[in-house]
A and B are shown apart, each in its own frame.
Chain A
Amino acid sequence: MRMSRKKLEPKDVWLQMTSMIDIVFLLNVFFMLVSDMTKAQVEALTLPIAYKATNDDRPPKNRIIVNVMGNGDIKVNAEKYSKDKLERLLATEAVKYPDPEGLSTLSVKIRADANTQYKYVQEVMMACMKAKVWRVSFGVSPKDGSRTEAARE
C-alpha cells in the first residue's frame, strides 16, 4: 500500500521562538546559579558531635576552611594540599590580614573527619601557628542537647 505524500508548503513550517527563548533563558539561569556550588569549600565528612557549639550562620569573611579527610588528606577548596603547601597558603593569606600584635586576624575553620587521627589535625594547627594564625574553630555536628544537659546537671 502506498502512502500518499503530502508536500509541506513553506508556510506550514515555522520556528517557535518564544518557547525556545524561554528554555534557553531557563538553562542560562540554572547554570549560572549552579556553577557557584562547584566552588564548595566543604567536603563530605562525618563531623564529630558537640553539644556546646555555636551556630556557623555568620562566619567571618576572612576565613579559610581546611578539610581533613578520614585518611589524613588535607583539602582546601576541593584541592588536595600537602602539609608544606598548606603552610605556604596560610602564610600567604595571613599577611593579608595583619593585626597590631604582628600576628594575623585570618580565621581558619578545621573540618576534620570524626575518626581521623588527631595527628593530622595537629599538623593543620601547627601550620596555623607557623603562619601566625590563632583564630581557629572546628567544624562539628550539632546534637539535641536537652536530654544530655539534664543528665549533666
Chain B
Amino acid sequence: MATFGSSRTLKEMLEEYEWELPTSFIDVVFLLLLYFTLTMKFHTMEQRLEAWLPKDKGPNQVAQQITKLDELVINVTAAGPGKQLDTPVFSIRDFKVNSTNQLAQQLKRMRQAADMPVVINGRPNCPFKHIMSALDACAWADLRKVEFRAPPAQGAGGSDSDYDLL
C-alpha cells in the first residue's frame, strides 16, 4: 500500500472521510443538469440555399428588360404517375434530363463564367423539391447568378402553354 509522507496508508486516509451525498448537493446538480439540458443549442440539421431576388425586375421594374443572349433558362417540370410527379424534367435549350446529377454536369459544360445568368423557370404545379434540385445543381456548377422566373400576371391573357415557352 502506498504511503503519503506519513505513516498512514491510503486506506486509512479514505476511511476518515464519510462519502455521503447531501440532499442539497443533488438538488444543485439536478438544477444545473436541467438548466444546461434546456438551454443547450441543438445542432441544426437544417441548412439553407441562398438566393437573391432581382432588385429591378417584376414589381420593381424601372427599365425595359434586356434579354441577354447567354442566359441559361432551366425549365423545370415534373412527370410521374397520378399527382405524385416525382420525376423531375429539366430542360435547357434542346437538352433534357431527369436527374440533378445530369443537370449539374450539363450546367458545368455550359458554364462560361461564374456570373453567367441562370433563370429557373418552374411550372406552377411542379413540386418545390424539383426547383430546389435545379438551384442545387446551379450551386454544384458554381453558377451564382440565379434568378427565378415570375409567374405570368393574372389577366394578362397568358396561357399555360405560353408560360411553358418563356
Q: Which chain A residues have a beta carbon within 8 Å of chain B's beta carbons?
A: 18, 22, 25-26, 29-30, 33-34, 42, 47-57, 68, 101, 103, 109, 111-122, 125-126, 128-130, 132-142, 148, 151-152
Q: Could you tell me the distance in whole angstroms from the C-beta of A140 to the nearest C-beta in chain B? A: 5
Interface size counted on chain B using CB atoms at 8 A: 46
Q: A73 vs B91: C-alpha distance in the bound complex, in angstroms?
A: 29
Q: A126 vs B32: C-alpha distance in the bound complex, in angstroms?
A: 47
Instruction: List the A side residues contacting B105 at CB < 8 Å.
Output: 152
Contact B151 A126 (CB under 8 A): yes
Residue B68, interface by CB 8 Å: no
Q: A54 vs B71: C-alpha distance in the bound complex, in angstroms?
A: 25
Instruction: List the B side residues contacting A116 at CB < 8 Å.
Output: 127-128
Instruction: List the A side residues contacting B136 at CB < 8 Å.
Output: 50-53, 140
Contact A26 B34 (CB under 8 A): yes
Give the residue of A30, A49, A132 whose beta carbon is less than 8 angstroms from that of B34: A30
Contact A22 B27 (CB under 8 A): yes
Instruction: List the A side residues contacting B140 at CB < 8 Å.
Output: 51-52, 152
Contact A54 B125 (CB under 8 A): no
Q: A52-B140, A126-B59, A140-B46 are in contact. Are A114 and B51 (CB under 8 A)?
A: no
Q: Could you tell me the distance in whole angstroms from the C-beta of B120 to the nearest C-beta in chain A? A: 10
Q: A129 vs B151: C-alpha distance in the bound complex, in angstroms?
A: 13
